[in-house]
Structure 1
Amino acid sequence: MYKLGYIFCFLVLLACHSKKAKTGTGETGFTYESFSDLFPAVKLPYQITDTSLLKSKDTTQIRSTEFAGFIADSVKNQIFTKGAKLKYYALAKIEVPKAETYYIVKVISGSKKAALLISFDGKGKYATSFPFLIPDDDATTSQASSIDKSFTISKNVVQKKDGELKGEGKNVYVYSADTRQFILIMTDLLDESKRDLINPIDTMPKTRKFAGDYIQGKRSLVSIRNGRTPNQALAFIHVEKNEGECTGELKGEILFTSSNTAIFRQGGDPCILQFNFTTSSVTLKEEEGCGNHRGLDCTLNGIFTKKKEVKSKSNTKKTTKK
């Protein structure tokens, strides 16, 4: 009789352990299968709005500290204050046939909420994180982010005042499996003239040749940072021309084809953009199909002057011999 009781208790404990492993709620460990099981699969198109995100009830929590470590600090700090304690919740799973899988994750810190898109490759390896939806503090705007049946990502913002439509903005992205990044392929800005210019790659290393910031006027920037290899670099371009009536942005990897010449060419993106560097400037020249990255009445072409680095003052004092 006692033996039967021990066996029953053992089976109950085993079942509880199995359930915990399946839900992937362990505080430290991480397995891709358990993580994936937390998310409900959704059909495309899929959309989430700022209102639904803010009002939605918390779903299954992702407790793995190892998963939290996948997400780069640069992504977290873009949304939340540095060092904030974050909680992660599973929202949706979208599988690309014979390729990567996207996971929509709700992130909470205090009263602030956001949605991240996490990508794993076809072998279940972590690829990258992308800010899918970040609600703002502007009561006149509403935001919606979506993924359509071609796996194109759209981030939309609408501004209304006194019930009247004042403006609409839209950014469109596609995922590049080669670079493991989400690439901006089209932008239609709401009203960037009143917003701070944010450089998304500003905190990345800039120790290699030609790395740095190049400017043209007050609100046009070419930012170059270290790439994965010595002949690659990461570039971010923001241009505003015609007193802000025409704007454009581009972000992605460039490849050096000579000692001072590089080119932007990404799979699935028709844009081909050439970079010609000197020690004090960079010249951009559109070779082909960059209209998706800027307005119709302007180009990305131009000469940008390298911004001088501000060196920190040393507190050490020089001593002189008597």
Structure 2
Amino acid sequence: MRFYHLILVGVLLTYLIACKEKKKQLSDTEPVEYADFIDFFPEIKLPFQLADTSLEKKTPDSLRIGSKIFSQYIPDSVLKTVFGKGAKPQLFPLGKSVVKDGETYLLVKAVTPAKRAALIMVFNDEKFVTAMPGILLNSNARGNDHAVMNMDSRYTITTLRQKTVADGQVLYNKKVYVYNTAGVFSLILTESNDQDAAESAVINPIDTLPALNKWSGDYLQDKRNLVSFRDGRKAGTLLFFVHFEKDGGACNGELKGDAVLGSGNTARFTENNGTCSIEFVFSGNTVRMKETEGCGSYRDIKCFFEGSYTRKKKPVHKNPRKKK
């Protein structure tokens, strides 16, 4: 009897373990909690490398992430920036890596008939923080165009794009990013022999947040240099995001934080437990940014958070006239 009792206990334990390990599907058919969403992504071991050929392989539909569930945890602006307005890419989990007592990195495969991408997203305290494309290629890319991304054991992300041109020369673009405590991916190294390489669009991590304050909006110099403001979490504050590229991309900076509104149309950011301090001065449709204390952790050594930016006009939606 004791032998059969042990067999029964073993069968029950196996059944319970199997039930526990069965992941909840993300097919938009039922509500999904944050823990279920994260659990759907398989663990990856660092260092981790992904090639664009992995995005071409067919993924079982059972692993597809429903668009409603995806948008429940990731802002629409992430997909809109990469694929364009109205695009509905198919979404699949590639993997996850969790920093002990820190952030969670998710890798997502996103595919449309026109493009395919590997997206890297960061969550902290169960909230989305920021995202960037690790690989981005047109679906009709030629066989001589290849892309690879790598995440090392220190969560440094390297992207490499290569193509062979008519004369046999191999052109490449290499970029290295790190996620910083300000909640953005900072570009810390660029290396290329392709002078005509097209730059991807800047992803604004606060783009979809409320913009009711009179100073909230996007202020630009060009598409690669912007200062964006959104309504703060507390009264008397503004949430901001800055991205700039100077000297042909040789000098870059990026920072996200909370600025406290002051008198005289000013706002000031002061880093907690750090030295970085930036002052913003608003005047009409412009904002002037000035680095008042060292922010070297968020930019290259030879450039600063400074300059004047012009507010982007909001689109005017006209009501069509009714026919009499």
TM-score, length-scaled by structure 2: 0.69
Q: CA deviation at 1:291?
A: 7.3
**Cα distance between partner residues in 1 of 2:294 and 2:197:** 31
SS at match of 1:51: helix
Q: CA deviation at 1:314?
A: 6.4
Equivalent position of 2:256 in the other structure: 252
Contact 2:117 2:134 in 1 (8 A): yes
Q: CA deviation at 1:247?
A: 4.0
Contact 1:132 1:145 in 2 (8 A): no
Aligned residue runs from structure 1 range 58-69, under 5 A = 58-59=59-60, 61-63=63-65, 67-68=69-70, 69=72
Residues 1:164 and 2:172 aligned together: no
Q: CA deviation at 1:275?
A: 2.7
Structure 1 residues 211 and 271, CA gap change in structure 2 (3 angstroms): farther
- CA distances 1:2-34 after superposition (whole Å, capped 9, x unpaired): xxxxxxxxxxxxx9xx86992312622324554
**Cα distance between partner residues in 1 of 2:314 and 2:105:** 40
Structure 1 residues 143 and 236, CA gap change in structure 2 (3 angstroms): farther
Residues 1:276 and 2:283 aligned together: no
Q: CA deviation at 1:214?
A: 4.2
Structure 1 residues 192 and 78, CA gap change in structure 2 (3 angstroms): farther
**Cα distance between partner residues in 2 of 1:144 and 1:252:** 28
Residue type at the aligned position of 2:246:
E
Equivalent position of 1:77 in the other structure: 80
Equivalent position of 1:23 in the other structure: 23
Q: CA deviation at 1:264?
A: 6.2
Number of residue pairs the alignment of both structures matches: 288
Structure 2 residues not aligned, in runs of 5+: 1-14
Contact 2:212 2:231 in 1 (8 A): no
Q: CA deviation at 1:250?
A: 1.4
Residue type at the aligned position of 2:310:
K
More moved, 187-196 vs 132-141 = 187-196
Structure 1 residues not aligned, in runs of 5+: 1-14, 318-322
Contact 1:21 1:34 in 2 (8 A): no
Q: CA deviation at 1:103?
A: 2.8
SS at match of 1:284: strand
Match of 1:109 among 108, 112, 118: 112
Structure 1 residues 305 and 79, CA gap change in structure 2 (3 angstroms): closer
Equivalent position of 2:269 in the other structure: 263
Contact 1:22 1:34 in 2 (8 A): no
Equivalent position of 1:136 in the other structure: 137
Q: CA deviation at 1:104?
A: 1.9
Contact 1:213 1:221 in 2 (8 A): no
Residue type at the aligned position of 1:306:
T
SS at match of 1:30: coil
Identity %: 20
Aligned residue runs from structure 1 range 192-271, under 5 A = 195=198, 198-201=201-204, 203-204=207-208, 205-216=210-221, 221-229=225-233, 230-241=236-247, 244=248, 246-256=250-260, 258-259=262-263, 260-263=266-269, 265=271
Aligned residue runs from structure 1 range 27-66, under 5 A = 27-54=29-56, 56-59=57-60, 61-63=63-65
Residue type at the aligned position of 2:32:
F
Match of 1:182 among 181, 184, 187: 184
**Cα distance between partner residues in 1 of 2:224 and 2:113:** 35
SS at match of 2:137: coil
Q: CA deviation at 1:304?
A: 0.9
More moved, 146-155 vs 72-81 = 146-155
Aligned residue runs from structure 1 range 309-320, under 5 A = 309=313, 312=316
Contact 1:79 1:134 in 2 (8 A): no
Residues 1:287 and 2:293 aligned together: yes
Structure 1 residues 257 and 133, CA gap change in structure 2 (3 angstroms): same
SS at match of 1:23: coil
SS at match of 1:248: strand
**Cα distance between partner residues in 2 of 1:240 and 1:193:** 17
Residues 1:127 and 2:128 aligned together: yes
Structure 1 residues 74 and 165, CA gap change in structure 2 (3 angstroms): same
Contact 1:29 1:64 in 2 (8 A): no
CA RMSD of aligned residues (A): 4.0
Q: CA deviation at 1:282?
A: 0.2
Q: CA deviation at 1:63?
A: 4.6
- CA distances 1:128-165 after superposition (whole Å, capped 9, x unpaired): 45234242336565332222212233333345434424
